[in-house]
Amino acid sequence: KAGVTQTPRYLIKTRGQQVTLSCSPISGHRSVSWYQQTPGQGLQFLFEYFSETQRNKGNFPGRFSGRQFSNSRSEMNVSTLELGDSALYLCASSLAGTGNRANEKLFFGSGTQLSVL
């Protein structure tokens, strides 16, 4: 079974540009969540999508957005990039739901390393 796939692996952008990152979850997983990892702030939750709906959001500005498609694949978009947006962006997928132990685990992809110059 293929794992969580994130593309691209590396991105270099300049301030003011926008960027779109992609995440394909493990087959059958319905929930996709996104995290930002920086040396200063560590790992922080961005948002979660389930059945094409955002159902939870972290404390990030509106420049950070995302969506989920009917096949559970997800994209996140960052507009008007700032230097501080340079980070490793990680996507995680899970079966989601409650009452079933198998639904409780989250699995991550390899991440997209974004550098903003």
CB of 31 to another protein, least distance (A): 5
- Residue closer to another protein by CB (options 15, 57) is 57
Residues that bind another protein (CB under 8 A): 31, 33, 35, 42-43, 45, 48, 50, 55-56, 58, 88, 90, 92, 94, 96-98, 101, 103-111, 113
- Rounded Cα gap, residues 64 and 28, in angstroms: 26
CB of 47 to another protein, least distance (A): 9
Q: Which residues pair with 11 in a beta bridge?
A: 114
Distances (CA, A) of 24 to 5, 64, 108, 116: 5, 19, 10, 24
User: What residue has token string 């995302």?
Assistant: 66
CB of 110 to another protein, least distance (A): 4
